[in-house]
Amino acid sequence: MHKLSNLTWAVFLTLALVMPLATRAGNTTPNIVLIFCDDLGYGDIGCFGSENHRTPHIDSLARNGIKLTSFYSTCGVCTPSRSSLMTGCYPRRVNMHEDARGGWVLFPVAFKGLNPTEITMAEVLGSAGYATACIGKWHLGDQAPFLPTEQGFDYYFGIPYSNDMGNHYKNRNYPPLPLLRNTTVIEEEPDQSYITQRYTEEAVKFITQNKDQPFFIYLPHTMPHNPVFASPDFAGKSANGGFGDSVEEIDWSTGEILKALKANGVDDNTLVIFTSDNGAARTWGGSNKPLSGYKGSTMEGGMRVPFVASWPDKIAARTSSDELTSTIDLLPTFAKLTATAGELANEIDGHDISHILNGRRRAKSPHDAFYYYFRADLQAVRSGPWKLHVSRQQRTRGQKEPTQLPDRLYNLDNDISESKNVADQNPEVVTQLKELAETARTELGHGNSKGTGQREAGRVENPVALRKQQ
Protein backbone atom coordinates (compact mmCIF):
# COMPACT_ATOMS: atom_id res chain seq x y z
CA MET A 1 0.00 0.00 0.00
CA HIS A 2 2.86 2.34 0.82
CA LYS A 3 4.47 1.76 -2.58
CA LEU A 4 1.12 2.20 -4.34
CA SER A 5 0.55 5.45 -2.46
CA ASN A 6 3.92 6.80 -3.54
CA LEU A 7 3.22 5.82 -7.13
CA THR A 8 -0.17 7.50 -6.99
CA TRP A 9 1.39 10.71 -5.73
CA ALA A 10 4.05 10.56 -8.42
CA VAL A 11 1.40 10.25 -11.13
CA PHE A 12 -0.62 13.06 -9.58
CA LEU A 13 2.38 15.40 -9.44
CA THR A 14 3.34 14.57 -13.02
CA LEU A 15 -0.16 15.35 -14.24
CA ALA A 16 -0.19 18.60 -12.28
CA LEU A 17 2.97 19.71 -14.05
CA VAL A 18 1.72 18.94 -17.54
CA MET A 19 -1.91 20.02 -17.27
CA PRO A 20 -2.59 23.22 -19.24
CA LEU A 21 -4.16 26.20 -17.56
CA ALA A 22 -7.65 25.47 -18.84
CA THR A 23 -7.58 21.95 -17.40
CA ARG A 24 -6.54 23.25 -14.00
CA ALA A 25 -9.50 25.58 -14.17
CA GLY A 26 -11.83 22.61 -14.08
CA ASN A 27 -12.46 22.50 -17.83
CA THR A 28 -13.98 25.96 -17.74
CA THR A 29 -12.84 28.45 -20.33
CA PRO A 30 -11.67 31.80 -19.00
CA ASN A 31 -13.06 35.18 -19.85
CA ILE A 32 -10.29 37.19 -21.50
CA VAL A 33 -9.62 40.92 -21.22
CA LEU A 34 -6.74 42.10 -23.42
CA ILE A 35 -5.66 45.71 -22.75
CA PHE A 36 -3.42 47.01 -25.54
CA CYS A 37 -1.87 50.46 -25.24
CA ASP A 38 -0.58 52.67 -28.05
CA ASP A 39 3.09 53.77 -27.84
CA LEU A 40 3.49 52.80 -24.19
CA GLY A 41 7.17 52.12 -23.56
CA TYR A 42 8.94 49.33 -21.71
CA GLY A 43 9.70 51.65 -18.79
CA ASP A 44 6.37 53.46 -18.59
CA ILE A 45 4.64 51.47 -15.82
CA GLY A 46 5.70 51.05 -12.22
CA CYS A 47 6.30 47.30 -12.25
CA PHE A 48 8.71 47.80 -15.16
CA GLY A 49 10.64 50.54 -13.41
CA SER A 50 8.80 53.79 -14.12
CA GLU A 51 9.53 56.53 -11.60
CA ASN A 52 7.33 59.06 -13.39
CA HIS A 53 3.98 57.29 -13.55
CA ARG A 54 1.71 56.03 -10.78
CA THR A 55 0.22 52.77 -12.02
CA PRO A 56 -1.01 50.86 -8.94
CA HIS A 57 -3.76 48.91 -10.72
CA ILE A 58 -1.49 47.71 -13.53
CA ASP A 59 1.18 46.90 -10.95
CA SER A 60 -1.38 44.82 -9.05
CA LEU A 61 -1.74 42.59 -12.12
CA ALA A 62 2.00 41.87 -11.91
CA ARG A 63 1.84 41.41 -8.14
CA ASN A 64 -1.02 38.92 -8.50
CA GLY A 65 0.29 37.32 -11.67
CA ILE A 66 3.25 37.25 -14.07
CA LYS A 67 5.58 39.66 -15.83
CA LEU A 68 7.09 38.68 -19.18
CA THR A 69 10.26 40.72 -19.58
CA SER A 70 11.23 39.57 -23.09
CA PHE A 71 7.82 40.05 -24.70
CA TYR A 72 7.87 41.52 -28.21
CA SER A 73 5.66 43.28 -30.66
CA THR A 74 6.49 42.31 -34.24
CA CYS A 75 6.94 45.86 -35.43
CA GLY A 76 7.74 49.32 -34.09
CA VAL A 77 4.54 50.93 -35.44
CA CYS A 78 0.78 50.48 -35.19
CA THR A 79 -0.78 48.67 -38.15
CA PRO A 80 1.79 45.88 -38.59
CA SER A 81 1.94 45.14 -34.87
CA ARG A 82 -1.86 44.93 -34.60
CA SER A 83 -2.11 42.60 -37.59
CA SER A 84 0.22 40.22 -35.75
CA LEU A 85 -1.79 40.38 -32.54
CA MET A 86 -5.02 39.54 -34.36
CA THR A 87 -3.65 36.76 -36.60
CA GLY A 88 -0.65 35.23 -34.82
CA CYS A 89 1.48 36.02 -37.87
CA TYR A 90 4.40 38.25 -38.72
CA PRO A 91 3.12 41.31 -40.63
CA ARG A 92 4.85 40.24 -43.85
CA ARG A 93 3.06 36.89 -43.84
CA VAL A 94 -0.32 38.66 -43.97
CA ASN A 95 1.03 41.52 -46.11
CA MET A 96 0.25 44.19 -43.51
CA HIS A 97 3.80 45.51 -43.12
CA GLU A 98 3.04 48.63 -45.20
CA ASP A 99 0.08 50.44 -46.66
CA ALA A 100 -0.80 50.16 -50.35
CA ARG A 101 1.48 53.10 -51.19
CA GLY A 102 4.46 51.92 -49.13
CA GLY A 103 3.71 53.99 -46.02
CA TRP A 104 4.43 52.82 -42.48
CA VAL A 105 0.79 52.36 -41.45
CA LEU A 106 -2.71 52.55 -42.87
CA PHE A 107 -4.20 56.01 -43.27
CA PRO A 108 -7.83 57.15 -43.59
CA VAL A 109 -9.68 56.04 -46.73
CA ALA A 110 -7.20 53.19 -47.25
CA PHE A 111 -7.33 50.78 -50.16
CA LYS A 112 -5.80 48.09 -47.97
CA GLY A 113 -6.90 46.20 -44.87
CA LEU A 114 -6.60 42.92 -43.01
CA ASN A 115 -7.88 40.25 -45.37
CA PRO A 116 -11.21 38.87 -44.08
CA THR A 117 -9.94 35.38 -44.96
CA GLU A 118 -7.40 35.66 -42.15
CA ILE A 119 -8.50 34.00 -38.92
CA THR A 120 -8.50 36.45 -36.02
CA MET A 121 -8.46 35.73 -32.30
CA ALA A 122 -12.03 37.05 -32.15
CA GLU A 123 -13.15 34.47 -34.71
CA VAL A 124 -11.38 31.67 -32.83
CA LEU A 125 -12.97 32.65 -29.53
CA GLY A 126 -16.33 33.27 -31.15
CA SER A 127 -16.31 29.67 -32.38
CA ALA A 128 -16.10 28.64 -28.71
CA GLY A 129 -19.23 30.61 -27.83
CA TYR A 130 -17.55 33.79 -26.61
CA ALA A 131 -19.20 37.19 -26.80
CA THR A 132 -16.54 39.40 -28.38
CA ALA A 133 -15.99 43.15 -28.29
CA CYS A 134 -13.33 45.48 -29.66
CA ILE A 135 -13.34 48.80 -27.81
CA GLY A 136 -10.77 51.33 -28.98
CA LYS A 137 -8.30 51.81 -31.82
CA TRP A 138 -8.52 49.25 -34.65
CA HIS A 139 -6.10 50.41 -37.38
CA LEU A 140 -6.40 47.38 -39.65
CA GLY A 141 -8.48 49.03 -42.34
CA ASP A 142 -11.31 51.57 -42.29
CA GLN A 143 -13.37 50.19 -45.16
CA ALA A 144 -16.47 48.06 -44.54
CA PRO A 145 -14.90 44.61 -45.23
CA PHE A 146 -12.05 45.30 -42.80
CA LEU A 147 -13.82 46.71 -39.75
CA PRO A 148 -13.91 44.70 -36.48
CA THR A 149 -17.48 43.48 -36.91
CA GLU A 150 -16.36 41.78 -40.16
CA GLN A 151 -13.34 40.23 -38.40
CA GLY A 152 -15.08 38.23 -35.68
CA PHE A 153 -16.15 40.89 -33.18
CA ASP A 154 -19.78 41.06 -32.16
CA TYR A 155 -19.43 44.68 -31.09
CA TYR A 156 -17.17 47.63 -31.87
CA PHE A 157 -16.86 51.06 -30.29
CA GLY A 158 -13.90 53.24 -31.07
CA ILE A 159 -11.72 55.30 -33.38
CA PRO A 160 -10.64 53.09 -36.30
CA TYR A 161 -7.12 54.50 -36.67
CA SER A 162 -4.65 56.81 -34.93
CA ASN A 163 -5.98 59.85 -33.11
CA ASP A 164 -3.77 62.25 -35.11
CA MET A 165 -5.46 61.24 -38.37
CA GLY A 166 -8.33 63.71 -38.28
CA ASN A 167 -8.61 67.13 -39.88
CA HIS A 168 -8.09 68.82 -36.50
CA TYR A 169 -4.42 67.89 -36.15
CA LYS A 170 -1.68 69.89 -37.90
CA ASN A 171 -4.21 70.89 -40.59
CA ARG A 172 -3.89 67.54 -42.31
CA ASN A 173 -6.13 66.92 -45.27
CA TYR A 174 -8.02 64.01 -43.73
CA PRO A 175 -11.73 63.50 -43.15
CA PRO A 176 -12.95 64.34 -39.63
CA LEU A 177 -11.79 61.79 -37.06
CA PRO A 178 -14.67 59.27 -36.74
CA LEU A 179 -15.98 57.57 -33.61
CA LEU A 180 -17.83 54.39 -34.54
CA ARG A 181 -20.38 52.16 -32.89
CA ASN A 182 -20.21 48.95 -34.89
CA THR A 183 -20.09 50.33 -38.47
CA THR A 184 -21.88 53.63 -37.89
CA VAL A 185 -20.09 56.93 -37.32
CA ILE A 186 -21.78 58.39 -34.25
CA GLU A 187 -19.49 61.42 -33.83
CA GLU A 188 -16.91 63.35 -35.81
CA GLU A 189 -13.86 64.76 -34.04
CA PRO A 190 -14.93 63.47 -30.60
CA ASP A 191 -13.52 65.19 -27.52
CA GLN A 192 -10.49 62.99 -26.90
CA SER A 193 -10.15 64.23 -23.34
CA TYR A 194 -12.89 61.75 -22.48
CA ILE A 195 -11.99 58.90 -24.84
CA THR A 196 -10.27 56.69 -22.24
CA GLN A 197 -13.21 57.22 -19.91
CA ARG A 198 -15.71 56.34 -22.62
CA TYR A 199 -13.83 53.19 -23.62
CA THR A 200 -13.82 52.15 -19.97
CA GLU A 201 -17.57 52.67 -19.62
CA GLU A 202 -18.18 50.54 -22.71
CA ALA A 203 -15.94 47.75 -21.37
CA VAL A 204 -17.67 47.74 -17.98
CA LYS A 205 -21.06 47.63 -19.67
CA PHE A 206 -19.99 44.68 -21.83
CA ILE A 207 -18.77 42.77 -18.76
CA THR A 208 -22.08 43.35 -17.00
CA GLN A 209 -24.14 42.31 -20.02
CA ASN A 210 -22.15 39.13 -20.67
CA LYS A 211 -21.24 37.92 -17.20
CA ASP A 212 -23.25 34.70 -17.67
CA GLN A 213 -21.30 33.54 -20.73
CA PRO A 214 -17.63 33.53 -21.74
CA PHE A 215 -16.55 36.91 -23.10
CA PHE A 216 -13.52 38.43 -24.79
CA ILE A 217 -12.82 42.15 -24.57
CA TYR A 218 -10.05 43.57 -26.72
CA LEU A 219 -9.36 47.08 -25.41
CA PRO A 220 -6.82 48.82 -27.65
CA HIS A 221 -6.49 52.22 -26.01
CA THR A 222 -6.06 55.29 -28.20
CA MET A 223 -3.62 56.67 -25.62
CA PRO A 224 -0.83 57.49 -24.95
CA HIS A 225 -0.31 58.05 -28.70
CA ASN A 226 0.39 61.66 -29.55
CA PRO A 227 -1.53 63.98 -29.26
CA VAL A 228 -2.13 62.87 -25.69
CA PHE A 229 -5.31 63.67 -23.81
CA ALA A 230 -6.70 63.02 -20.34
CA SER A 231 -9.98 63.88 -18.65
CA PRO A 232 -10.12 66.76 -16.14
CA ASP A 233 -9.71 64.27 -13.27
CA PHE A 234 -6.21 63.42 -14.56
CA ALA A 235 -5.05 66.36 -16.66
CA GLY A 236 -2.11 68.10 -15.05
CA LYS A 237 -1.93 65.61 -12.17
CA SER A 238 1.09 63.46 -13.12
CA ALA A 239 4.81 64.14 -12.83
CA ASN A 240 5.28 63.69 -16.57
CA GLY A 241 3.03 66.16 -18.36
CA GLY A 242 0.28 65.11 -20.71
CA PHE A 243 1.87 61.75 -21.47
CA GLY A 244 1.95 60.83 -17.80
CA ASP A 245 -1.60 62.08 -17.32
CA SER A 246 -2.85 59.75 -20.04
CA VAL A 247 -0.89 56.78 -18.65
CA GLU A 248 -2.29 57.32 -15.18
CA GLU A 249 -5.81 57.49 -16.59
CA ILE A 250 -5.21 54.18 -18.37
CA ASP A 251 -4.20 52.79 -14.98
CA TRP A 252 -7.49 54.09 -13.53
CA SER A 253 -9.30 52.43 -16.44
CA THR A 254 -7.60 49.13 -15.64
CA GLY A 255 -8.74 49.48 -12.04
CA GLU A 256 -12.34 50.09 -13.12
CA ILE A 257 -12.29 46.95 -15.26
CA LEU A 258 -10.88 44.88 -12.39
CA LYS A 259 -13.57 46.34 -10.13
CA ALA A 260 -16.29 45.42 -12.65
CA LEU A 261 -15.01 41.86 -12.94
CA LYS A 262 -15.20 41.47 -9.17
CA ALA A 263 -18.61 43.14 -8.87
CA ASN A 264 -20.02 40.73 -11.46
CA GLY A 265 -18.49 37.67 -9.80
CA VAL A 266 -16.25 36.72 -12.72
CA ASP A 267 -12.85 37.92 -11.51
CA ASP A 268 -11.68 34.43 -10.47
CA ASN A 269 -12.17 33.09 -13.97
CA THR A 270 -10.88 35.99 -16.05
CA LEU A 271 -7.47 36.22 -17.68
CA VAL A 272 -6.43 39.89 -17.79
CA ILE A 273 -3.49 40.88 -19.98
CA PHE A 274 -1.89 44.31 -20.23
CA THR A 275 0.68 45.19 -22.91
CA SER A 276 1.52 47.66 -25.71
CA ASP A 277 1.67 47.75 -29.51
CA ASN A 278 5.27 49.02 -29.68
CA GLY A 279 7.80 51.04 -27.75
CA ALA A 280 7.58 54.69 -26.82
CA ALA A 281 8.45 57.37 -29.38
CA ARG A 282 11.65 59.38 -29.18
CA THR A 283 9.66 62.48 -28.19
CA TRP A 284 6.41 63.11 -26.23
CA GLY A 285 7.50 61.75 -22.84
CA GLY A 286 7.54 57.96 -22.97
CA SER A 287 10.38 55.76 -21.70
CA ASN A 288 11.90 52.51 -22.94
CA LYS A 289 14.54 52.29 -20.20
CA PRO A 290 16.79 50.33 -19.90
CA LEU A 291 16.42 49.51 -23.60
CA SER A 292 17.93 51.49 -26.45
CA GLY A 293 15.95 52.70 -29.43
CA TYR A 294 12.44 54.02 -29.89
CA LYS A 295 9.16 53.47 -31.70
CA GLY A 296 9.73 52.66 -35.35
CA SER A 297 13.12 51.02 -34.88
CA THR A 298 14.28 47.42 -34.61
CA MET A 299 16.31 48.18 -31.51
CA GLU A 300 14.88 46.59 -28.36
CA GLY A 301 13.18 49.82 -27.33
CA GLY A 302 11.12 49.81 -30.51
CA MET A 303 9.73 46.31 -30.18
CA ARG A 304 10.19 44.89 -26.66
CA VAL A 305 7.15 45.94 -24.65
CA PRO A 306 5.84 45.53 -21.09
CA PHE A 307 3.57 42.57 -20.44
CA VAL A 308 1.69 41.57 -17.30
CA ALA A 309 -1.04 38.97 -16.90
CA SER A 310 -3.24 37.83 -14.03
CA TRP A 311 -5.63 34.91 -13.66
CA PRO A 312 -6.38 34.12 -10.00
CA ASP A 313 -5.33 30.63 -8.88
CA LYS A 314 -4.20 29.74 -12.42
CA ILE A 315 -1.20 32.08 -12.83
CA ALA A 316 1.02 32.12 -9.77
CA ALA A 317 1.42 35.49 -8.06
CA ARG A 318 4.66 37.51 -8.20
CA THR A 319 6.19 35.43 -10.97
CA SER A 320 8.20 36.47 -14.00
CA SER A 321 9.83 34.98 -17.06
CA ASP A 322 12.53 36.32 -19.36
CA GLU A 323 11.83 33.73 -22.04
CA LEU A 324 11.29 35.13 -25.54
CA THR A 325 7.56 35.57 -26.20
CA SER A 326 5.52 37.76 -28.54
CA THR A 327 2.13 39.12 -29.46
CA ILE A 328 1.96 36.41 -32.14
CA ASP A 329 1.76 33.87 -29.30
CA LEU A 330 -1.48 35.16 -27.81
CA LEU A 331 -3.80 33.78 -30.50
CA PRO A 332 -2.52 30.17 -30.25
CA THR A 333 -2.43 30.47 -26.45
CA PHE A 334 -6.08 31.54 -26.36
CA ALA A 335 -6.90 28.69 -28.74
CA LYS A 336 -5.18 26.24 -26.40
CA LEU A 337 -6.97 27.56 -23.31
CA THR A 338 -10.34 27.32 -25.02
CA ALA A 339 -9.75 24.05 -26.93
CA THR A 340 -10.25 25.80 -30.29
CA ALA A 341 -6.86 25.14 -31.86
CA GLY A 342 -8.65 23.28 -34.65
CA GLU A 343 -10.00 26.61 -35.88
CA LEU A 344 -6.49 27.74 -36.86
CA ALA A 345 -6.64 26.68 -40.49
CA ASN A 346 -4.13 29.27 -41.77
CA GLU A 347 -0.41 28.89 -41.17
CA ILE A 348 0.71 31.10 -38.29
CA ASP A 349 4.02 32.04 -36.70
CA GLY A 350 3.02 32.13 -33.03
CA HIS A 351 3.10 29.36 -30.45
CA ASP A 352 1.14 28.41 -27.35
CA ILE A 353 2.88 29.94 -24.29
CA SER A 354 0.45 28.70 -21.63
CA HIS A 355 3.29 26.66 -20.11
CA ILE A 356 5.18 29.91 -19.50
CA LEU A 357 2.16 31.74 -18.13
CA ASN A 358 1.36 28.97 -15.66
CA GLY A 359 4.90 29.08 -14.31
CA ARG A 360 5.89 25.57 -15.27
CA ARG A 361 9.36 24.93 -13.92
CA ARG A 362 12.12 25.61 -16.45
CA ALA A 363 9.54 26.52 -19.12
CA LYS A 364 11.32 27.54 -22.31
CA SER A 365 10.42 29.77 -25.20
CA PRO A 366 8.87 27.89 -28.13
CA HIS A 367 10.75 30.15 -30.57
CA ASP A 368 13.97 29.05 -32.24
CA ALA A 369 14.16 32.51 -33.76
CA PHE A 370 12.39 35.84 -33.64
CA TYR A 371 12.51 38.28 -36.57
CA TYR A 372 12.68 42.07 -36.47
CA TYR A 373 11.27 43.71 -39.59
CA PHE A 374 11.42 47.41 -40.45
CA ARG A 375 8.62 47.84 -42.97
CA ALA A 376 9.51 45.47 -45.83
CA ASP A 377 13.04 44.70 -44.70
CA LEU A 378 14.35 42.13 -42.27
CA GLN A 379 16.86 44.00 -40.12
CA ALA A 380 17.57 41.70 -37.19
CA VAL A 381 17.06 38.21 -35.79
CA ARG A 382 17.18 36.85 -32.24
CA SER A 383 17.84 33.28 -31.12
CA GLY A 384 18.21 32.55 -27.43
CA PRO A 385 20.16 35.44 -25.90
CA TRP A 386 21.78 36.42 -29.21
CA LYS A 387 20.52 39.23 -31.41
CA LEU A 388 22.08 40.00 -34.79
CA HIS A 389 21.46 43.24 -36.67
CA VAL A 390 22.37 42.14 -40.19
CA SER A 391 24.65 44.27 -42.34
CA ARG A 392 22.74 46.82 -44.37
CA GLN A 393 22.88 50.24 -45.94
CA GLN A 394 21.38 53.20 -44.12
CA ARG A 395 20.74 56.67 -45.47
CA THR A 396 19.89 59.49 -43.08
CA ARG A 397 18.09 62.69 -44.04
CA GLY A 398 20.38 65.00 -46.00
CA GLN A 399 22.94 62.26 -46.61
CA LYS A 400 23.90 61.86 -50.29
CA GLU A 401 25.52 58.44 -50.04
CA PRO A 402 24.26 55.65 -47.77
CA THR A 403 26.33 54.34 -44.89
CA GLN A 404 27.17 50.63 -44.82
CA LEU A 405 26.34 49.29 -41.37
CA PRO A 406 28.27 46.17 -40.34
CA ASP A 407 26.88 43.06 -38.69
CA ARG A 408 26.19 43.85 -35.02
CA LEU A 409 25.79 41.04 -32.51
CA TYR A 410 24.59 41.49 -28.94
CA ASN A 411 24.11 39.10 -26.04
CA LEU A 412 20.86 40.41 -24.56
CA ASP A 413 21.28 38.43 -21.36
CA ASN A 414 24.14 40.68 -20.28
CA ASP A 415 23.72 43.64 -22.65
CA ILE A 416 20.05 44.54 -22.74
CA SER A 417 20.85 48.05 -24.01
CA GLU A 418 22.68 46.72 -27.11
CA SER A 419 25.82 48.70 -26.37
CA LYS A 420 28.63 46.19 -27.04
CA ASN A 421 28.99 44.63 -30.48
CA VAL A 422 30.53 41.16 -30.04
CA ALA A 423 30.24 39.98 -33.66
CA ASP A 424 34.00 39.67 -34.16
CA GLN A 425 34.34 37.48 -31.07
CA ASN A 426 31.49 35.13 -32.06
CA PRO A 427 31.70 34.42 -35.81
CA GLU A 428 29.93 31.06 -35.47
CA VAL A 429 26.91 32.73 -33.81
CA VAL A 430 26.82 35.33 -36.59
CA THR A 431 26.78 32.56 -39.19
CA GLN A 432 23.98 30.70 -37.40
CA LEU A 433 21.79 33.79 -37.11
CA LYS A 434 22.41 34.75 -40.73
CA GLU A 435 21.10 31.32 -41.75
CA LEU A 436 17.98 31.94 -39.68
CA ALA A 437 17.58 35.36 -41.30
CA GLU A 438 17.77 33.78 -44.75
CA THR A 439 14.99 31.37 -43.76
CA ALA A 440 12.78 34.36 -42.91
CA ARG A 441 13.62 36.16 -46.14
CA THR A 442 12.65 33.08 -48.11
CA GLU A 443 9.37 32.37 -46.35
CA LEU A 444 8.17 35.81 -45.24
CA GLY A 445 9.89 37.95 -47.85
CA HIS A 446 12.32 40.83 -47.83
CA GLY A 447 12.30 44.13 -49.70
CA ASN A 448 10.54 43.66 -53.01
CA SER A 449 10.91 39.87 -52.90
CA LYS A 450 7.71 38.10 -51.93
CA GLY A 451 7.98 35.24 -49.45
CA THR A 452 6.90 31.71 -50.32
CA GLY A 453 4.53 31.76 -47.33
CA GLN A 454 3.26 35.31 -47.77
CA ARG A 455 -0.48 35.86 -48.23
CA GLU A 456 -2.36 38.75 -49.77
CA ALA A 457 -3.88 41.58 -47.79
CA GLY A 458 -7.45 42.69 -48.40
CA ARG A 459 -8.10 45.47 -50.91
CA VAL A 460 -11.02 47.57 -52.09
CA GLU A 461 -10.98 49.52 -55.32
CA ASN A 462 -12.99 52.58 -54.33
CA PRO A 463 -12.49 53.41 -50.66
CA VAL A 464 -14.77 55.98 -49.09
CA ALA A 465 -14.39 58.24 -46.08
CA LEU A 466 -16.13 57.27 -42.86
CA ARG A 467 -18.57 60.13 -42.26
CA LYS A 468 -21.54 60.72 -40.03
CA GLN A 469 -24.81 60.55 -41.90
CA GLN A 470 -26.77 63.78 -41.80
CATH assignment at residue 275: 3.40.720.10
Name which of 71, 121, 73, 83 is nearest 365 in CA terms. 71
Q: What percent of the chain has pLDDT over 70?
A: 92
Q: Is the pTM of this model over 0.95?
A: no
79 part of a folded domain:
yes
Q: What is the pLDDT of residues 381-437, one digit of tens each?
A: 999 999 999 998 776 666 676 788 899 999 999 999 999 999 999 999 999 999 999
Q: How many CB atoms lie within 10 A of CB 418?
A: 20
The pLDDT value recorded for residue 173 is: 81
Name which of 404, 421, 378 is nearest 292 in CA terms. 421
Residues 36 and 88 reside in one and the same domain: yes
Supply the mean pLDDT for the chain. Answer: 92
The pLDDT value recorded for residue 147 is: 98
Residues 377 and 404 reside in one and the same domain: yes
The pLDDT value recorded for residue 9 is: 35
Residue 17 has pLDDT above 80, yes or no: no
The pLDDT value recorded for residue 170 is: 63
**Domain containing residue 394:** 370-450
Residues 67 and 201 reside in one and the same domain: yes
The pLDDT value recorded for residue 100 is: 85
Q: What percent of the chain has pLDDT over 90?
A: 86
Q: What is the pLDDT of residues 166-190, one digit of tens each?
A: 987 665 789 999 999 999 999 999 9
191 part of a folded domain:
yes
Q: Which of 297, 331, 357 is at the close of a domain?
A: 357
Residues 176 and 283 reside in one and the same domain: yes
Residues 391 and 352 reside in one and the same domain: no
435 part of a folded domain:
yes
The pLDDT value recorded for residue 171 is: 59
Residues 281 and 303 reside in one and the same domain: yes
Residues 317 and 411 reside in one and the same domain: no
Alpha-carbon radius of gyration of the chain? 22
Residues 375 and 282 reside in one and the same domain: no
Q: Report the C-alpha gap between 48 and 254 in whole angstroms.
A: 16
The larger pLDDT score, comparing residue 397 to residue 32, is at 32
Residue 25 has pLDDT above 80, yes or no: no
Residues 58 and 178 reside in one and the same domain: yes
367 with 50: CB under 8 angstroms? no
Buried b / exposed e along 65-100 (16+ C-beta atoms within 10 A): bbbbbbbbbbbbbbbbbbbbbbbbbbbbbbbbbbbe
Residues 338 and 383 reside in one and the same domain: no
The larger pLDDT score, comparing residue 111 to residue 397, is at 111
- For the annotated catalytic residues, the residue numbers are 78, 139
Split into its structural domains, the chain has a count of: 2
| Res. 359 pLDDT band, cuts 50 70 90 | confident
Residues 319 and 374 reside in one and the same domain: no
Strands 307-310 and 66-68 turn out to be antiparallel
* CATH code of residue 412: 3.30.1120.10
Residue 143 has pLDDT above 70, yes or no: yes
Residues 308 and 410 reside in one and the same domain: no
Task: Please tell me what DSSP assigns to residue 318.
Answer: T
